[in-house]
Structure 1
Amino acid sequence: AASPWEAGGCRAGRPLTRPLHPADMSFRKVVRQSKFRHVFGQPVKNDQCYEDIRVSRVTWDSTFCAVNPKFLAVIVEASGGGAFLVLPLSKTGRIDKAYPTVCGHTGPVLDIDWCPHNDEVIASGSEDCTVMVWQIPENGLVSPLTEPVVVLEGHTKRVGIVTWHPTARNVLLSAGCDNVVLIWNVGTAEELYRLDSLHPDLIYNVSWNHNGSLFCSACKDKSVRIIDPRRGTLVAEREKAHEGARPMRAIFLADGKVFTTGFSRMSERQLALWDPANLEEPMALQELDSSNGALLPFYDPDTNVVYVCGKGDSSIRYFEITDESPYIHFLNTFTSKEPQRGMGSMPKRGLEVSKCEIARFYKLHERKCEPIVMTVPRKSDLFQDDLYPDTAGPEAALEAEEWVSGRDADPILISLREAYVPSKHRDLKVSRRNVLSDSRPAVAPGSTRPGASTPAASNTTAPSSSLTGAGEAGKLEEVMQELRALRALVKEQGERIGRLEEQLGRMEN
């Protein structure tokens, strides 16, 4: 007998005992023919793992791990405060107990997130109620890092979520156990938006949409909310998205739909897909099993594959999301012996395209981190266009000020055909742009720049000078900023000229 997954994949939407309709039979073949049907996961050899890492024991449902094309960061046990390790990807093998950590927080670190626009910048949220942003030296740490570039203080309880805006430089979101979401301009250390009345209970997770115009959140009150941060308004809400009392997760997909994980009333783990235009009923709902670990979803917008890892599980399940019923198609399961304490996911630009690698996870055990490579088997050595459409690159599409003024922009895409195959090219393509953009917003020529002594910038002025790099890099940054400001001005004036000409035409008529 066909398994429930093979019978169309949807265990919750229809009875599994009914005979298969001919239409389902033909659809099943389509699913089988998916190019991701045979994706297989493989752990790397032991000498390529990171050994002797004391992974944090904090009981918080974050991933505890963040990775980018240069560094691996893992939240670790620390006496007398909070700390996380930052290792260059090449630093595999046994990690010395005395290896330096990032250790400026006075309470345990709960969440970390690499800046998508600068591979040397990472944000951390902690039980000490603060968010800190750190600049990691280009070749990794040689001594403990205790001085953050900027400290963001605004929460009254521990900060369990930090996540960077996907397309606007320097915009960072944090959410705390005070049920407040704050959005910051890291470049000026200012609080841009405070959303303190939208969540009546603990916020489990927050996820930006594709262009960062909205975010969705999963809350302990069992609601999934879609929020416009700049207006501070609730766009849509679904109460009891999952009826169980255990933690939920909600993430935006590239097409604007929302994917959630949670528990049923009977404590069965569930996946669901929602259309924000109509949150009355899920487009698809599937029950997985009755394990009790929270399900952490990782999404690849290029392939529309969602990888689901349960905390305490020893497996990664993956599903393809399509526009045809039943929408969520089970692909396969990667299983290993050891349960996972946390998980990090490599951005697409850090993968080895020559080996048809479509995802790489960094699985945390109790005392080590093990990379797991997901590969599509292909015989050809040529670049596989269908597996690697252009993907989000490291360049920001907007400045913080542009986003605040109401502009939205999709991520700036790069081709992986040549950009990241040879490792020596990789560094050249990664933007070394300072996170804090020299702490000065881009302004139009003729207007004055805020001085370094202004209160908003005072937090960041001293450390940021070390970020800009010396000589040429600093000048290049300044020229680029001026260029962006001029482009924005020219565009604005062009639109104004168009409006005036239109007005003049009407008056002459």
Structure 2
Amino acid sequence: MSFRKVVRQSKFRHVFGQPVKTDQCYDDIRVSRVTWDSTFCAVNPSFVAIIVEASGGGAFLVLPLHKTGRIDKSYPTVCGHTGPVLDIDWCPHNDYVIASGSEDCTVMVWQIPENGLSQPLTEPVVVLEGHSKRVGIVTWHPTARNVLLSAGCDNVVLIWNVGTAEELYRLDGLHPDLIYSVSWSRDGSRFCTACKDKSVRVIDPRRGTVVAEKERAHEGARPMRAIFLADGKIFTTGFSRMSERQLALWDTENLEEPMGLQELDSSNGALLPFYDPDTNVVYVCGKGDSSIRYFEITEEPPYIHFLNTFTSKEPQRGMGWMPKRGLDVSKCEIARFYKLHERKCEPIIMTVPRKSDLFQDDLYPDTAGPEAAMEAEEWVAGRTAGPVLVSLRQAYVPSKQRDLKVSRRSLLHDSRATATATAASGATTPPSTPPAAPASARFSAPPVLGSGNATGGRLDEVLQEVAALRALVAEQGQRISRLEEQLSRLENGHV
């Protein structure tokens, strides 16, 4: 275990992992037995979703986070697929929208009621049909609203505009074999894939080209994973020729040799990596393991620094990962996992022990919030933007989410002009009177997550109020920072 030799200073060295009490688990859940290497679990600040066994089709449970304890067998599921569900992913810009990919070759997008399900949900908001074989991967664009990627066992990657139910890009012929994983870059301008042909590829979806490729990233025949890090490097997990599990870090500018390569052990479960861009910590969970290892990625060699291992008795069938804005900042919680056992889901909380009760700025830099940085049409037109960051200082309070509406017409050709015209008319009209939208806007601007058609003026007013409130919150945040600084100086005797 060569990675144990490196001892270095890090505030994450003593990250402390702890399972929650038994009554805080979700019990009596029949976790899916499908042999597919996805996480089987997706979590956001409102819900935990788990792929479960279902007779005569595919289903997943969606439970409000507080609905712990024993889950009744008759608890309603999301059950519109005709084949087993293989992957699920919550929309990063709407906590009530989730996508699922299935063996029935379809992708479905679902709107979950605010308080969870009271009856089985069989009607998706939209069905996306374009794959000829089962769909094993679904993942939302990190910064553009309504953009969803799916990858199937037909070796095709499709990118959809969920707001118009249309296929934006079909990336066919770039992968000669099964795609094991897909990960968007932080700004969503590219994504990387790990493929059964042992290659890791960096792809520009808007050009439909492979920007960089590393053949035989890991020599072993078992499944690999590749994820983009915030600085554009790529972290991979895989197997050596001798079936040792490996981790590697790659510079996309030069994929000849890995920047760092470490061998872990000779277990045979695929390693699922989870990455926190705010702390640059990667957590690695093996399917069938009973441990979570974590590593800090730094600028100096050996780049991948082993921090510690959280170990429990039971092996994990799958794993969910809470976005940063769903954590309890008052307890210095820096990560929360939702570990799937055979019959239950157990949250595991990772904290950094701190004596002070003050907000820990170094643990919680501004993080990706729920606002999209741009619309689907802007991304298609070539715009690139990083995530819209929010401060966790005022412990996160979820905003009112808007329903997902889908327009069936293919509208990309004129929607940009529409958006410009609407913006222009909105800018010159007083907020109290709704702007008169041009004809094209009235009939063909695709509704995105929550655009209403007759609410232009009201929306302007609300947006102005929100802007004013944001400014006020920012100002108060700065004031609190200054006061906390003064307080800590007083506590430390620096008057």
**TM-score of Structure 1 vs Structure 2, range by shorter chain:** 0.7 to 0.9
Match of 1:14 in 2: none
2:373 alignment partner, one of 397, 407, 411:
397
Deviation at 1:476, TM superposition (A): 3.3
Q: Is the 8 A contact 1:393 1:411 kept in 2?
A: yes
Match of 1:449 in 2: 440
Equivalence map 1:370-449=2 (5 Å): 370-420=346-396, 426-427=397-398, 430-436=399-405, 443-445=419-421, 447-449=438-440
Equivalents in 2 of 1:478, 1:197: separation in Å?
Answer: 48
Is residue 2:54 matched to residue 1:78? yes
Q: Is the 8 A contact 2:329 2:395 kept in 1?
A: no
Amino acid at match of 2:288: G
TM-aligned CA distance change 1:111 to 1:403, over 3 Å: same
Q: Is the 8 A contact 2:164 2:406 kept in 1?
A: no
Amino acid at match of 2:275: Y
Is residue 2:109 matched to residue 1:133? yes
Gapped runs of 5+ residues in structure 2? 422-436, 468-495
Amino acid at match of 1:131: V
Equivalents in 2 of 1:353, 1:225: separation in Å?
Answer: 36
Match of 2:2 in 1: 4
- SS of 1:242's equivalent in the other structure is coil
- SS of 2:420's equivalent in the other structure is coil
Q: Is the 8 A contact 1:117 1:431 kept in 2?
A: no
- SS of 1:107's equivalent in the other structure is coil
Equivalents in 1 of 2:298, 2:11: separation in Å?
Answer: 13
Match of 2:124 in 1: 148
Gapped runs of 5+ residues in structure 1? 9-27, 421-425, 485-509
Match of 2:30 in 1: 54
Deviation at 1:437, TM superposition (A): 7.5
Is residue 2:297 matched to residue 1:321? yes
Equivalents in 1 of 2:457, 2:18: separation in Å?
Answer: 42
Equivalents in 2 of 1:409, 1:324: separation in Å?
Answer: 28
- SS of 2:358's equivalent in the other structure is coil
Q: Is the 8 A contact 2:17 2:348 kept in 1?
A: yes
Match of 1:95 in 2: 71
Equivalents in 2 of 1:94, 1:279: separation in Å?
Answer: 49
Equivalents in 2 of 1:469, 1:79: separation in Å?
Answer: 39
Deviation at 1:468, TM superposition (A): 6.7
2:162 alignment partner, one of 186, 193, 198:
186
Deviation at 1:471, TM superposition (A): 9.6
Q: Is the 8 A contact 2:198 2:224 kept in 1?
A: yes
TM-aligned CA distance change 1:142 to 1:476, over 3 Å: farther
Deviation at 1:6, TM superposition (A): 3.8
Equivalents in 2 of 1:238, 1:296: separation in Å?
Answer: 20
Deviation at 1:39, TM superposition (A): 0.1
Matched residues, percent identical? 81
TM-aligned CA distance change 1:478 to 1:155, over 3 Å: farther
Deviation at 1:40, TM superposition (A): 1.1
- SS of 2:419's equivalent in the other structure is coil
Match of 2:42 in 1: 66
TM-aligned CA distance change 1:115 to 1:388, over 3 Å: same
Deviation at 1:443, TM superposition (A): 1.9
- Aligned-pair RMSD on alpha carbons? 2.5
Equivalence map 1:85-124=2 (5 Å): 85-124=61-100
Match of 2:424 in 1: none
Q: Is the 8 A contact 2:125 2:404 kept in 1?
A: no
Equivalents in 2 of 1:136, 1:115: separation in Å?
Answer: 11
TM-aligned CA distance change 1:476 to 1:285, over 3 Å: same
TM-aligned CA distance change 1:340 to 1:473, over 3 Å: farther
Amino acid at match of 1:204: Y
Is residue 2:239 matched to residue 1:287? no
Equivalents in 2 of 1:148, 1:366: separation in Å?
Answer: 28
Match of 2:459 in 1: 476
Q: Is the 8 A contact 2:442 2:453 kept in 1?
A: no
Equivalents in 2 of 1:473, 1:451: separation in Å?
Answer: 11
Amino acid at match of 1:215: F
Match of 1:349 in 2: 325
Match of 2:224 in 1: 248
Match of 1:277 in 2: 253
Q: Is the 8 A contact 1:159 1:177 kept in 2?
A: yes
Deviation at 1:475, TM superposition (A): 5.3
Equivalents in 2 of 1:172, 1:389: separation in Å?
Answer: 27
TM-aligned CA distance change 1:341 to 1:302, over 3 Å: same
Superimposed CA distance per residue, residues 110-143 of structure 1 (whole angstroms, 9 cap, x where no aligned partner): 0000000000000000000000000000000000
Match of 2:242 in 1: 266
- SS of 1:444's equivalent in the other structure is helix
Equivalents in 2 of 1:220, 1:344: separation in Å?
Answer: 24
TM-aligned CA distance change 1:470 to 1:227, over 3 Å: closer
